[in-house]
């Protein structure tokens, strides 16, 4: 009953938000003219660089193919505008990509970036604009190439508990992503790798301002005494509310594969405040998580709030840290949890690039 009411309200809010979508306008003819006169010498007239060109051989760096739909779609418009304006070095890329802030006006930079984005049809790929900041608990909707370490320290009655998770996420196809997770727990009774999780995520609806995906993950305990494992499914949603505010939410359902234990539902949401286009900044966010076991004999409704910050570590932000404190609002059997997340978006380059 409560769930229906909450979902009713959430869907009204979501519908209202989707009507608010933001579109940008640009003069593509102007962009094309700028591209051909200023950029094509290195990037090629079609955006596909010619490795035999003496200019590029002199530079010693071969730019990526801007007309490749996967590459073109995955890089957010705003990041490319920053690269064109401030140059490759400022965004953790090669310094051979020159800054254009003195040579071109802001409008020309905007138009040429829009033109570069229009070089290839990317409609079959979720846009990189929707590759939003990784939350601590809310599931992300965007399919990505990422290696993530998540640590959690929890103060509770009895021995404190530590949980370490290593996630390997690899993009496949146009909108899919494979998931592999290793879960390690240390508490009073265990200090071991407890679960291996494998799964798949698929984005199935998107625009420049929202993305929705569905995922299924099979959690397999390493020790057969810990039951047969669990199937977890989730829906994840990401949305740009405005250039400064982003919203993400996920609904996760857990189904144990044996009759002995019970599953539950988890609804999580987060709002980030994005005050700057520079990736290497500190971005605050507030996350709220509600969990309800299917049968209350296995536990009670739990509500927690999780204030956190995202700290971009590299100039391009492809390595970033999240720090958060999760505070129970209802009567949980623990005091608070401290979360540390280190993420590396390996599609944007090696771990050591751009510090």
Which residues are at the interface with ligand HEC (CB under 6 A)?
38-39, 41-43, 59, 61, 63-64, 66, 75, 80, 83-84, 88, 93-94, 96-98, 100, 112, 116
- How far is the C-alpha of 6 from the C-alpha of 1, rounded, in Å? 9
C-beta closer to ligand HEC: residue 256 or 317 = 317
C-beta closer to ligand HEC: residue 38 or 233 = 38
- How far is the C-alpha of 259 from the C-alpha of 12, rounded, in Å? 36
| In the complex, minimum distance from the CB of residue 248 to ligand HEC, in angstroms, rounded to a whole number | 23
- How far is the C-alpha of 61 from the C-alpha of 72, rounded, in Å? 18
- How far is the C-alpha of 81 from the C-alpha of 212, rounded, in Å? 25
| In the complex, minimum distance from the CB of residue 103 to ligand HEC, in angstroms, rounded to a whole number | 8
C-beta closer to ligand HEC: residue 65 or 240 = 65
| In the complex, minimum distance from the CB of residue 206 to ligand HEC, in angstroms, rounded to a whole number | 20
Backbone φ and ψ for 76, nearest 5 degrees, come out as: -65, 145
| In the complex, minimum distance from the CB of residue 315 to ligand HEC, in angstroms, rounded to a whole number | 11
Instruction: Say if CB 211 and CB 187 are below 8 A apart.
Output: no
| In the complex, minimum distance from the CB of residue 320 to ligand HEC, in angstroms, rounded to a whole number | 16
Burial (CB count within 10 angstroms: exposed 0-12, middle 13-18, buried 19+), residue 349: middle
The residue among 253, 183, 246 whose CA lies nearest residue 215 is 253
C-beta closer to ligand HEC: residue 97 or 274 = 97
C-beta closer to ligand HEC: residue 112 or 132 = 112
C-beta closer to ligand HEC: residue 41 or 311 = 41
| In the complex, minimum distance from the CB of residue 6 to ligand HEC, in angstroms, rounded to a whole number | 40
| In the complex, minimum distance from the CB of residue 43 to ligand HEC, in angstroms, rounded to a whole number | 6
Instruction: Say if CB 111 and CB 26 are below 8 A apart.
Output: yes
C-beta closer to ligand HEC: residue 49 or 324 = 49
C-beta closer to ligand HEC: residue 88 or 238 = 88
| In the complex, minimum distance from the CB of residue 76 to ligand HEC, in angstroms, rounded to a whole number | 9
């Amino acid at each position: 009953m409560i769930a229906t009411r909450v979902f009713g309200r959430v869907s009204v809010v979501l519908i209202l938000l989707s009507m608010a979508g933001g579109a940008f306008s640009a003069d593509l003819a102007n962009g094309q003219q700028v591209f051909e006169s200023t950029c094509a010498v290195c990037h090629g007239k079609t955006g596909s660089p010619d490795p035999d060109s003496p200019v590029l051989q002199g530079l010693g760096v071969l730019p990526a193919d801007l007309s490749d739909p996967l590459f073109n779609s995955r890089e957010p418009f705003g990041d490319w505008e920053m690269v064109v304006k401030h140059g490759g070095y400022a965004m953790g890329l090669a310094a051979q990509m020159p800054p254009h802030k003195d040579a071109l006006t802001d409008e020309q930079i905007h138009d040429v970036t829009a033109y570069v984005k229009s070089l290839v049809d990317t409609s079959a790929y979720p846009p990189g604009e929707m590759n939003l900041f990784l939350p601590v608990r809310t599931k992300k909707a965007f399919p990505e190439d990422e290696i993530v370490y998540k640590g959690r320290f929890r103060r509770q009655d009895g021995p404190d508990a530590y949980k370490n998770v290593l996630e390997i996420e690899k993009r496949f196809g146009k909108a899919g992503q494979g998931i592999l997770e290793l879960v390690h727990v240390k508490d009073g009774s265990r200090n071991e790798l407890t679960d291996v999780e494998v799964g798949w995520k698929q984005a199935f609806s998107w625009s420049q301002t929202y993305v929705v995906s569905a995922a299924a993950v099979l959690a397999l305990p390493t020790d057969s005494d810990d039951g047969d494992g669990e199937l977890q499914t989730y829906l994840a949603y990401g949305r740009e509310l405005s250039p400064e505010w982003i919203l993400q939410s996920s609904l996760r359902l857990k189904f144990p594969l044996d009759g002995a234990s019970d599953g539950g539902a988890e609804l999580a949401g987060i709002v980030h405040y994005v005050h700057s286009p520079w990736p290497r900044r500190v971005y605050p966010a507030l996350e709220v998580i509600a969990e309800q076991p299917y049968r209350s004999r296995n536990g009670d409704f739990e509500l927690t709030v999780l204030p956190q910050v995202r700290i971009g570590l590299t100039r391009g932000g492809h390595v970033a840290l999240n720090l958060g404190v999760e505070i129970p609002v209802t009567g949980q059997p623990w005091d608070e949890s401290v979360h540390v997340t280190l993420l590396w978006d390996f599609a944007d380059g090696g771990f050591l690039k751009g510090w």
